[in-house]
Every structure is written in C-alpha cells, then in structure tokens.
C-alpha cells in the first residue's frame, strides 16, 4: 500500500524573501534529515515532499487539506 502524504495548507507568500527563507529552511532540514537517516522513514520522506511543495507553490498557497503530493 502506498504511503499517503498530504500537501500542507498555507497562505500565499507575498514577497520573494519569504520564499527564499523557506528554501533556506528546506536545505537545512534536508541536511539534518540525511545526517540523521530519517529520510529512510515514510515520515521523513513526507516531510521532504511537504517542504518542497511549500517552496514550489509559495506564491499561490494551498487551501486544499486533502491534496496528495
């Protein structure tokens, strides 16, 4: 059975600095996850997908709590 990973619900970011901040946090989180080997778990992979989704859709936001990623 496939792991279910839902997209995070968030408002759109109105400036580029907010998106850059999210990208920086994403890079730090990825480094920490890889170093601690959490990325091997389903929760770690879902967290990576959620951060990537948030960065990729930073300007649009997401209001659908049931959106799968």
**pLDDT tens per residue across all 69 residues of the chain:** 457 889 889 888 788 888 898 889 888 888 887 777 666 677 877 888 898 898 898 888 889 889 888
pLDDT at 14: 81
Q: What confidence score (pLDDT) does residue 1 get?
A: 45
Overall domain count for the chain? 1
Task: Annotate the chain with DSSP letters as a single string.
Answer: -PPP-BPPPBPPP-SHHHHHHHHHHHHHHHHHHHHHTGGGSHHHHHHHHHHHHHHHTTTT-B--TT-B-
- Domain span holding position 6: 1-69
């Amino acid at each position: 059975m496939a792991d279910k990973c839902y997209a995070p619900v968030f408002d759109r970011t109105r400036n580029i600095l907010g998106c850059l901040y999210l990208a920086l946090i994403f890079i730090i989180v990825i480094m920490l996850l890889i170093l601690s080997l959490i990325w091997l778990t389903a929760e770690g992979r879902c967290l990576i997908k959620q951060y990537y989704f948030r960065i990729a859709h930073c300007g649009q936001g997401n209001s659908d709590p049931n959106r799968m990623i």
